[in-house]
């Protein structure tokens, strides 16, 4: 079977792991290329200390090694401020990476997440999936992000309703260990970005799919 080329787009480092870390590990184990686009960065201008910036860079390096990403791309937009960036600039950044990677599958955050950065990233990704401009993009999947997706107050009609489940039973432990590399993002239960919450969501999604652990997605585009 021909290997796939996967691109995960993360508003912030850790979204990729929370949303589809197990699936990325499964892709890698199956011989697929996996690529990572991070849409934001920490800067002193945004109020972060140099030691925080250096620590985040080390985390990204460590996570890159654990996944063995084929390429990592990081935009320079300020974290938590994507709603202030021009949509054209966001689209240009995503388009540049999509054109370089030429993915057949893109994982993107869910548009109705409570975090405004996620909405901005989704809209930019959506603009880069037109078949006449990006004919190699065959699949687009929205992932759920603990601490963002479940806190949306937009109502059930626009809530996260998955129609695709991926068995990550063999990869859940590794996903959790990778998430622990984001030292300042993890917390203790009942904090939503905790080991127990990650395992609980995987078990719940797995129960729907009839497996021990799963990640679920909204499949937005599938060309066969």
Q: Which residues contact 117 (CB under 8 A, 6 or more apart)?
A: 11, 12, 39, 40, 79, 80, 81, 82, 83
Banded model confidence at residue 70, pLDDT cuts 50, 70, 90: very high
User: Does residue 10 sit in helix, strand or coil?
Assistant: strand
The torsion defined by the Cα of 124, 125, 126 and 132, in degrees rounded to 10, comes to 110
For the chain, domains (ranges, CATH) are 5-219 (3.40.50.10320)
Banded model confidence at residue 10, pLDDT cuts 50, 70, 90: very high
Distance separating alpha carbons of residues 105 and 213, to the nearest angstrom: 22
Query: Longest Cα pair distance anywhere in the chain, in angstroms?
Result: 48
The CB density around residue 37, as the number of other CB atoms within 10 Å, is 27
For residue 1, pLDDT over 70 is answered with no
């Amino acid at each position: 079977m021909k290997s796939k080329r996967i691109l995960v787009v993360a508003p912030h480092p850790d979204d990729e792991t929370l949303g589809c870390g197990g699936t990325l590990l499964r892709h890698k184990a199956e011989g697929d290329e996996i690529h990572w686009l991070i849409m934001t960065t920490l800067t002193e201008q945004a109020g972060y200390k140099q030691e925080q910036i250096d620590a985040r860079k080390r985390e990204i390096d460590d996570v890159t090694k654990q996944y063995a990403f084929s390429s990592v791309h990081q935009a320079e937009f300020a974290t938590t401020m994507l709603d202030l960036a021009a949509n054209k600039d966001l689209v240009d950044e995503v388009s540049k990476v999509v054109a370089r990677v030429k993915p057949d599958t893109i994982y993107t955050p869910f548009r109705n997440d409570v975090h405004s950065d996620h909405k901005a990233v989704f809209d930019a990704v959506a603009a880069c999936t037109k078949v006449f401009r990006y004919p190699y993009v065959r699949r687009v999947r929205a992932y759920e992000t603990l601490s963002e997706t479940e806190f949306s107050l937009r109502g059930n009609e626009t809530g996260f309703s998955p129609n695709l489940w991926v068995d990550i039973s063999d990869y859940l432990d590794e996903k959790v260990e990778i998430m622990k590399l984001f030292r300042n993002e993890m917390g203790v239960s009942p904090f939503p970005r905790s080991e127990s919450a990650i395992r609980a969501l995987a078990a719940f999604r797995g129960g729907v799919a009839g497996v021990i652990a799963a990640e679920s997605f909204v499949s937005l585009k599938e060309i066969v």
